[in-house]
Structure 1
C-alpha cells in the first residue's frame, strides 16, 4: 500500500496488481534498449475492470513470462506521451514498470497511484448525469532530464468542490487509482467509434498549504 507520508521521496509512484489481458506489443527502441507494452485488467470493488497499459523494457521482461491469464504485480510510475493518430494528437497514459513479479490469482487487486505536481490548466468543475460534482484537473509531474508527464485527473464530491478553487501553478499531491473508461466518438462520416480514456481518479488530495481532504 502506498503511504503518502512515505512517498515524499518520489513525485510519481504507481503500484498495480492484476491479470494480463493483452500480450506483448513492440513499443519503441531508445539508446539500444527495446520497450514493449502489454495490458492488465484490475478489478474495482464494484466489479468493473480497469484496463491498464504497462510499458516495460526488454531487460525487465526477460525474467518474466508474460502470457494471457497470468497475474502480475507491477511497481513503477505513470508516464504520458503524445502520438499522432491519423492527423490527431492522442495522449497515451501507461504505467512504466520498474519491477514486475508474479502474483497469485487469489491476491487482492491493487491499483494505487501517488502523484505530486503542479496544476497546468484551470480546474474544470461539472456535474455528472446523476447530479454528482466532478472536477477535471491536469497535473504536470516533473521527472529526470527536464521532462514532465501531463496526467489527467478527476476529483469527485467534496474533493471536486475543493479542487475547483485551485489555480494554475498550485502544487498538490494526490492519492488515487488509474482508471479506464470507454466513450463513443462520432466521426465526420457518421460512424461511431468506441474509444478508451485514462485518468487518475482522486481518492485523497493535499495542497502544500492545507490538510488532506
Structure 2
C-alpha cells in the first residue's frame, strides 16, 4: 500500500488535508487468484465495497476520486477543516494542532500503525517478498504558518515538513512547532525575488529612457546636394 498525506494550515486555523491511498496491482492479481479472474479488485476498493474500505477514516464531506496509476489503484481525497481542528479525520484522532499565543504545535501519534493482531511483521514481510509486492510507503507532509522552531521531520523545505513513516520500524510521534508571527523562509525568498525583479525592471526602463533622451538629433539637409557654383 502507498499512502501520501498532506496537511496545510494557516494562521487563522483554516486548513486542508489531502492525499492518496493506493494498492499495488500485485494485490489485485492475488485477489483474482482467490476470487476468480473476473474479480475487479480496483473497482471494489474504489467503490468502498471491499472489506478494506479506504474511505472509512475519512471525514464526512471529504471529496473522493478514484485514481489509477501505472501499477497502482485507489483513491485521492481532500477535506477542509477550521479552528485548527482536523480531528474529524480518523488517524488524526491521535494528534493535531495546539496554539499557545503565536506558537503552533503539531503532533501525530504513529506508534500503533504497524500493529496487526492477525499477522506478525515477519509474516507480512515474507508475504511481500513471496509475491514481489512493493514495500508499504507512508509519507506525511505538514505545512505550518510562520517559521518552524522545532521538529523531528526527516526533511524540511521552508515551513513544510516531510516524514517517511516506517511501518515496520519502531513507531514514534511526529512533532513540530512554528512561530506564526514570523514569516516562513519560503515567503522571505519570494519577497526577495519579487523585489530584485522590480529593481531590475526599473533599471531597464531607466536605461531605455536615458538612451532615448541622449540620442543624437538627426541633422536635416546634410545629405542634400549643394547648388553648383555659377
Tell me the TM-score normalized by structure 2. Answer: 0.27
Structure with greater proportional strand content:
1
Greater Rg, structure 1 or structure 2?
A: 2
Tell me the TM-score normalized by structure 1. Answer: 0.28
